[in-house]
Structure 1
Amino acid sequence: MKLTDIKINDLFNSDRRFTFLVGAGCSVSAPSCLPAGHAMMEALINYTCKESEIKDIIELMKSGTLRFEALVEIIRNEIDKELTLIDYYSQCDKPNMQHFFLAEMIKQGNFVMTTNFDFLIEYALNHSGVPFKEIVPVITKEDFEIFSDPYELLKKKKKSVYKIHGSTENIITKKSTRDSLVATIQAFGSNKEGENVFQLEAFKRPLFENITKERSLVVMGYSGSDDFDIVPTLKILKNLQDVIWINYSHNIDIGNEQIYEINDNTFQSLNKMDINLRKVIQILFEIWQMKNVNNVFLVNVNTNNMVQKLLETQPALSSDNFSLEIKEYFKKIYQEVSEIEKYYIPYKIYYEFDLDNKAMNCLKNILQIAEKLNDKTWKTLALNYIGSIFRRDEKYSEALKKMEEALELAKDLGSLNLKSLVFDNMAMTYNKKGDYPAAINLYKDASRIDKQLGNLKNTAVNLNNIAYLYESQEEYTKALENYEEALKIAEKLGDLNLKCTVLCNSGKIYIDQGNYSEARKRIEEAEMIADKLGRLDTYSSCLIYLGGINKDQGRIQEALKLYEKALEIAKKLGDPEFVDTMHTLIKMTKGKGEGAEEDYEMGIDSSQEIIKTKQEFICNSKWNIKDIMNFLKGFLNGFFNSFRDSMNWQRVKTISKELKPNMLDVSSGDNFKAVFHIIEGNKKTRTIQMEWEIRSSTSNHIWESLVKALTDIFKKPGIKSVKKR
């Protein structure tokens, strides 16, 4: 990263065409005075959570663990089905200097996208002389499909504002868009870290590609901590000219602005930087690393001062500031939050981030209150979720005991929804316990109820789970039957994420059966969807699967092309272990080195095992660290047993059921060693070693690839899936 002598006027010159991406920070300054994400979150937490839990939850917010959309989705699900809290933003009709600057940019033929829920850009356009009839807010799925080409609106002299996180209303037509907002918040609130906009709402991709093509993207109003879907999206856009990130710096006025250019050396200097700036620079380096843009700039400047200097005519701002107190607004829209709800909302947050002791305390309080009130519904929920925590701790008998209590209550209540919920939870428990037949029967019970209730998404999820369990028992015909039914539902729902997952899962079975024609058909379709959704891991997995098919059919050159393509993705992802693995596969496919053919067969098979494992992390419902650890035990046993002979294992000590690894460490020497450190209650550490003779570098690459995938996951507080119930 280098400090340039470029000035703001050099960046914002008439030769560039701009698209602006606008975050909440742009609506904070007077007279708008809308709260930024953290201020609104803190108010919500204080109003809806038990006093004893507030401090811990605010810490989760401050650390960036708890996101705005995730909190709002929990609130929506429990006490605010219509998302009336978002109406708070519509109360403000006082645009500030930044909104007027954006309005002027739109008038000059530039484009604006925003994740904000307010109408302040529309108001600024109107105050700047643009009639309301010429302003086109783009909010709903239908809007994004009709107005996917912003140039068409430009030709018609329309001024567009693209609201990518939705809005409660189209302020121009006065049409309610609340249903669209709720759907978007549900999708964004439950997504996992690293997913992009297109994985959640694929219909927005044509707009993103059209609105950014051959343009400089200016990012304003983002702190770097509220970028959970934006950054992954920017990383996969291919036709941008530049990215210009405006980093609000209160004390740096125009004339003293600092403009840095991100380059290949940026990563090396990250640790030397101010901690508040490090996150933003990390983001920009990741965008630069994809090599899809010509330049990436970081601009440290007072944003208000910058836009004021860039505007030729100063707007007349309101002399009064917006001053509606958030707490007073909540009192107006919400009934009093019950004692149970004040424990349940923290429970949901704690459980999401694997804070099981805190989650359990909340559930025990809920159970105590529910028993006192004789509230059987809440008692059912509390018992069911207590069982979930026991399952995480591998206390399966205790987990099932609580769930069976919950099931009896659900039957007494005659609640199909509660019965489905408990059946699903019990199925997951039997699955983790290794009792696959029992798990299958319970998933079938849940699936039947979901069909009866018309809940197609949950039905498809359960069918996928059933299919995978049949596959695990090598009952491939039954597995394919269930995958096929899940695929039909995914197609009916238009759920591309689920469709992609099912196509991959079923395609792998056809590969194992040698039915390459059907396997190719499914994997190629999954590849196309993964590319459309920006699921690079899945896309590269499909390339490797297809490469294996081509190799088996003697199409070596076609296989090499696919492996080279996967190698390029590995480089863009900045994954050195993945890069090494692809180099090894390419080398083997070319037939270089002693024993290359045998190594190749082992490499392809083991790489596909790793891919399959990674797919598990993507497609299994609500993964968390403990679930992954449990899955690993079974996977590693199977993996080592499958490849022991071909890799000439000298010694493999199986991992016991009690093994609970929470850190993987790798060292190498004459023998390649995987060391599992077990941290027990008193922080006592013991070590189990598994050693084997390295017959070739292949085993090293296989292990490193697996360890990298797992350690990356262990760094996160929790893993969620496209299949979340």
Structure 2
Amino acid sequence: MKKNVILAGAGVSLDPPANFPIAIRIINQLKQVIWPNHIELPKNDIRDGDINKLEGDFIRFEQLIDTLSTYDPELTVLDAVGYYQTPNLNHFNLAQAAIMGDYVITPNFDSLIEQAILKLNYIPKSICTENDFNEYTPNKEAVPVFKIHGSFFKYTGHRDEYEIKKETMQASLTSIAARNSLFSLSEEKFHLLKKAIAESDKLIIVGYSGSDDFDIIPSLIDIRPSHVVWIEHEMNAPKDHVTLEDKSEEVLSSIQKMAGVLPGKENFLKHLADFGSTIEYYRLNTAAYLSALFGQKELPDEPAPTLTLNFEQHIKSWGNKLSIEMKKDMVARLYYDLSMYQEVLDIWGDIEPTSPMYIESLFSCAKCLDQLSRYKESAMIIDQLLQLDNIMKHPLYPLLLEKKAYVNSKFGEKESNRLSNQEIEALFLKAIDIQEGNNSNCFSFYNNYGLFLRDRNRISEAEKYYDLALKQAYEKGNLKYITWIMNNQATLLFDKGNFNQALAIGNEGFALSKKIGDYRQAGVFENLLANICFINGQIEDSIQYCKISIQRDIVLGNEPDSSVNWLLLGECYFEIEEYSEARKCYDKSLLCFDNSADKDFLYELRFLRLLLFLTIGSFENAWEECNQMEDNSFDLRETLFHTLAKGIMTPSYNFDEVLNRLQEDLNEIYVYINMVYYLSLLEIPIEQIGKKHIYYASDKFMELKNWNRYNRLLAWNKNKK
């Protein structure tokens, strides 16, 4: 007879007498403890039009634990797990399943299933370390419980012996990402789960939300179980009997209507349906279902021990040991991870120089100002900190040097106080040397130095440092920085014209950004994906990405970042010849640029506005746009767009040289083929553009299957011969 695999989530521990709190209750209690009254909570649950939240009151449990671990590295905040010693009926039925030889697998940290096995006069064994999973063989002397995210107590398989194994608990995003492959369980756990499912008749899922979308759900998708029974707990379902009414068709139909990146459970079920697996989905009372399946109808007749301290009481006691400034710093770190940079600035706006948190808090403000493109303000704070006595001995010293280099690299070339490129590079390398010498994390240093190199068209060097940054960020489990580096890699590939590779990395980074609640970074990826859709000719998809990203920036109070989205949205409307809408979008983009310190794309916008005005016959406005661009810019991008603009307004201008520079010096294939196409729209004679540019752009659009642009170029080329 084949076994079953039972995946039991936190829901099985809710019922009395166990009364183990679910994650949201623990989160709410922690928030009450660490959020000082004068710090305003984020806005509530604002949605972006599909299934995903624009971060507000929603915080992942693992993300919050990551933040708390700064001041509680031993995670004593979770010691209350050990207080819960009284199993409920679900635990006894799961114990019966394990005793009968089924694989009982759980992400829960508590040992209530093991307690139930003991009370049924069997010996439990907790399989919770990597070695346990790697070396597991069936043992008639002990009943295994597979603790896939670790366990507070580890039962050894010798009578009722156990030891505390808190270090195995994967409670934070960092611990999950660092110990596992990204989006998968560790190799040892994955192989055991795969083997168990292969040996079993079906996978039964109970008390589980499916929210473990970093490891368990992706692993199950890779394993492709052939038969899954999912039990969704129904509060009002009968407790004394079970009526099976399969809801799988209804659930799958609902999933098919969902847009965007699907949550864990829905993503898993959709993949199962695509694989052709058998799916049963029931809404039942979990205890009634497990009792019917495994036979335990009642709890053993024995007095339940009194719970000496519950989670809420423990957290309150834990919080009393923290100072107000520690709590403020925890909140600030959490806000930073959620890309709520203005909120961080509000928290630390009144920090006193006598505070022990003074240097750390000001550096946090400098990082936020950098993210908000307020580079001059960030640089002023960095310079202020670098002038402090003994700052060279402070752990933040190399980070201050690196940040000084980075924000200076974002200044315009003509800024009076800007360091030279040689000075900026020397600062980057000095900071990296110190950090590497201290054996400290360097991924942010490598990433920002890579950006500096990319902006100077040193592409192969930039790729090398991005690779170094990503490798180390994976090793350290820093998911936020992984998304940042992935965006830079995808953008570089996009600029080089490797659009399919950029799309693959962009989609992965976009999904990860949404999972960790970094909705500002998700908006950055949306702009990248919108650009890829645009160059592929998928204009409606591009418009949709732009609009969602713009909405994100409004909610996050980060509207200047929308300048590039409004620019692209204008291009989309121009492409479909809705010129009045295009002009509105360009106007909004220009307004955003006026409020932003990051003006890298301003000349491109002015060129596109000039193109629009020429198309609609507004020559005076076209000249005005041309005259807004300066002749003596130090920036290559600005110089090339100004040259293009002047060339268009000059009869018989030969564009070959400027197009060569766009392709070779700026190394942005996307911009290059766009400009060739736009010149063709203006009916510029072929001999002024150059046949090689026409052929290259035509071939690229054919490769991209952008038939609209390909056919236009082809027809224009034939007509001009």
**TM-score, structure 2 as length reference:** 0.63
Map 1:601-680; keep pairs closer than 5 Å: 605-608=498-501, 610=503, 660-661=563-564, 665=569, 666=572, 678=588
Whole-Å separation in 1 of the counterparts to 2:485 and 2:528: 24
Whole-Å separation in 1 of the counterparts to 2:459 and 2:263: 46
Cα distance, 1:127 vs structure 2: 1.2
Whole-Å separation in 1 of the counterparts to 2:483 and 2:338: 25
1:68 counterpart residue number: 61
Task: Please report the RMSD computed on the Cα atoms of aligned residues, expressed in angstroms.
Answer: 5.3
1:302 counterpart residue number: 285
- Runs of 5+ in structure 2 lacking a partner? 47-52, 414-420, 538-559, 596-604, 613-676, 682-696, 707-721
1:418 counterpart residue number: 396
1:350 counterpart residue number: 335
Which letter does structure 2 place at the counterpart of 1:109? G
Q: Is the 8 A contact 2:11 2:208 kept in 1?
A: yes
Whole-Å separation in 1 of the counterparts to 2:400 and 2:575: 49
Helix, strand or coil for the counterpart of 1:113? strand
Whole-Å separation in 2 of the counterparts to 1:96 and 1:638: 53
Whole-Å separation in 1 of the counterparts to 2:234 and 2:485: 48
1:429 counterpart residue number: 407
2:133 counterpart residue number: 144
Cα distance, 1:204 vs structure 2: 3.1
Whole-Å separation in 1 of the counterparts to 2:484 and 2:183: 20
Cα distance, 1:168 vs structure 2: 3.2
Question: CA 1:611/1:283 → structure 2, altered by over 3 Å: closer, same or farther?
Answer: closer
Q: 1:47 aligns with which of 33, 37, 49?
A: 33
Q: 1:316 aligns with which of 293, 300, 305?
A: 300
1:141-188 Cα deviation digits (max 9, x unpaired)? 3333333xxxx225x554222222222342435444233337865333
Q: 1:118 aligns with which of 110, 116, 120?
A: 110
Cα distance, 1:307 vs structure 2: 1.8
Q: Is the 8 A contact 2:81 2:152 kept in 1?
A: no
Whole-Å separation in 2 of the counterparts to 1:182 and 1:328: 23
Q: 1:450 aligns with which of 428, 432, 435?
A: 435
1:286-322 Cα deviation digits (max 9, x unpaired)? 333552x612232100112222233324441654464
Map 1:109-508; keep pairs closer than 5 Å: 109-131=101-123, 135-147=124-136, 152-153=137-138, 158-172=142-156, 174-181=162-169, 186-188=174-176, 196-198=183-185, 201-213=186-198, 215=200, 216-224=202-210, 229-238=215-224, 240-253=225-238, 254-262=241-249, 266-267=253-254, 270=257, 282-288=266-272, 290-291=274-275, 294-313=277-296, 314-316=298-300, 319-320=303-304, 322=307, 324-365=309-350, 367=351, 370-371=352-353, 374-375=354-355, 377-409=356-388, 412-430=390-408, 432-433=410-411, 440-455=425-440, 458-459=441-442, 462-463=445-446, 465-467=448-450, 469-470=452-453, 473-475=456-458, 478=461
Whole-Å separation in 2 of the counterparts to 1:634 and 1:213: 40
Whole-Å separation in 2 of the counterparts to 1:248 and 1:360: 43
Q: Is the 8 A contact 2:503 2:532 kept in 1?
A: no
Which letter does structure 2 place at the counterpart of 1:36? I
Question: CA 1:392/1:166 → structure 2, altered by over 3 Å: closer, same or farther?
Answer: same
Helix, strand or coil for the counterpart of 2:109? coil
Q: Is the 8 A contact 2:232 2:283 kept in 1?
A: yes
Cα distance, 1:235 vs structure 2: 2.3
Whole-Å separation in 1 of the counterparts to 2:173 and 2:282: 31
1:236-283 Cα deviation digits (max 9, x unpaired)? 223x122222111011123334322248961477579xxxxx978734
Count of residue pairs brought into register by the alignment = 555
Whole-Å separation in 2 of the counterparts to 1:242 and 1:104: 22
Work out which of the two has the higher radius of gyration on C-alpha atoms and give 1 or 2.
2
Which letter does structure 2 place at the counterpart of 1:446? A
Q: Is the 8 A contact 1:43 1:327 kept in 2?
A: yes
Which letter does structure 2 place at the counterpart of 1:197? S
Question: CA 1:141/1:404 → structure 2, altered by over 3 Å: closer, same or farther?
Answer: farther
Cα distance, 1:122 vs structure 2: 0.9
Whole-Å separation in 2 of the counterparts to 1:606 and 1:279: 26
Which letter does structure 1 place at the counterpart of 2:292? K
Whole-Å separation in 1 of the counterparts to 2:529 and 2:427: 23
Question: CA 1:214/1:672 → structure 2, altered by over 3 Å: closer, same or farther?
Answer: farther
Cα distance, 1:81 vs structure 2: 1.6
Helix, strand or coil for the counterpart of 1:299? strand
Q: Is the 8 A contact 1:347 1:362 kept in 2?
A: yes
Whole-Å separation in 1 of the counterparts to 2:299 and 2:524: 61
Q: Is the 8 A contact 2:406 2:424 kept in 1?
A: yes
Cα distance, 1:608 vs structure 2: 4.3
Cα distance, 1:437 vs structure 2: 5.8
Map 1:510-589; keep pairs closer than 5 Å: none
Question: CA 1:228/1:75 → structure 2, altered by over 3 Å: closer, same or farther?
Answer: same
Whole-Å separation in 1 of the counterparts to 2:267 and 2:467: 40
Question: CA 1:431/1:144 → structure 2, altered by over 3 Å: closer, same or farther?
Answer: farther
Question: CA 1:508/1:227 → structure 2, altered by over 3 Å: closer, same or farther?
Answer: closer
Whole-Å separation in 2 of the counterparts to 1:300 and 1:160: 28
Which letter does structure 1 place at the counterpart of 2:397? K
Whole-Å separation in 2 of the counterparts to 1:628 and 1:37: 25
Cα distance, 1:82 vs structure 2: 0.7
Whole-Å separation in 2 of the counterparts to 1:472 and 1:299: 55
Question: CA 1:667/1:26 → structure 2, altered by over 3 Å: closer, same or farther?
Answer: farther
Cα distance, 1:46 vs structure 2: 0.8
Q: Is the 8 A contact 1:487 1:502 kept in 2?
A: no
Q: Is the 8 A contact 2:487 2:525 kept in 1?
A: no
Which letter does structure 1 place at the counterpart of 2:346? N
Whole-Å separation in 1 of the counterparts to 2:517 and 2:286: 41
**TM-score, structure 1 as length reference:** 0.63
Q: 2:79 aligns with which of 83, 87, 92?
A: 87
1:686-716 Cα deviation digits (max 9, x unpaired)? 9977885698797499599xxxxxxxxxxxx
Helix, strand or coil for the counterpart of 1:448? helix
- Runs of 5+ in structure 1 lacking a partner? 1-14, 273-277, 513-540, 546-601, 644-656, 705-725
Q: Is the 8 A contact 2:95 2:117 kept in 1?
A: yes
Question: CA 1:318/1:464 → structure 2, altered by over 3 Å: closer, same or farther?
Answer: farther
Whole-Å separation in 2 of the counterparts to 1:264 and 1:425: 49
Whole-Å separation in 2 of the counterparts to 1:255 and 1:388: 56
Q: Is the 8 A contact 2:242 2:292 kept in 1?
A: no
Q: Is the 8 A contact 1:392 1:627 kept in 2?
A: no
Helix, strand or coil for the counterpart of 1:153? coil
1:651 counterpart residue number: none
Deviates more, 1:695-704 or 1:313-322: 695-704
